[in-house]
């Protein structure tokens, strides 16, 4: 890294940060999927029954709604900080 210029180091740091964010997001999705699976699936089979399907759908909907609300709140905080 000693041979890299400041611009190259900054770009590398940006790429590493982006990859870390992707990894964190992926880990959160996997954790969320485990929670929904444990909550909704009593016994795995060849097909999902309607109750299990509805439960999984509701769980995913709650996750999406929560994620959007948090994302919007962070965007508001960033906007206020930039003013």
Q: Is residue 1 part of a domain?
A: no
Please tell me the pTM assigned to this model.
Answer: 0.59
What residues make up the domain containing 66?
6-82
For residue 59, the domain's CATH number is: 1.10.287.810
At 6-49, the pLDDT tens digits run: 888 888 988 898 899 888 888 888 888 899 999 999 888 899 89
Number of domains making up the chain: 1
pLDDT score for 1: 54
Which residues have a Cβ under 8 Å from the Cβ of 36 and sit 6 or more positions away?
55, 56, 59, 60, 63
pLDDT score for 14: 85
- What φ, ψ does residue 31 adopt, rounded to 5°? -60, -45
56 has pLDDT over 90 = yes
C-beta of residue 11 within 8 angstroms of C-beta of residue 35: no
Closest CA to 41 of 31, 58, 55: 55
């Amino acid at each position: 890294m000693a041979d890299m210029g400041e611009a190259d180091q900054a770009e590398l740091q940006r790429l590493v940060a982006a990859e870390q964010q992707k990894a964190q997001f992926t880990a959160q999705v996997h954790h969320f999927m485990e929670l929904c699976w444990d909550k909704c699936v009593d016994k795995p089979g060849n097909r999902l029954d309607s109750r299990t399907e509805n439960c999984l759908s509701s769980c995913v909907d709650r996750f999406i709604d929560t994620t959007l609300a948090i994302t919007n709140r962070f965007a508001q905080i960033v906007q206020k900080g930039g003013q």
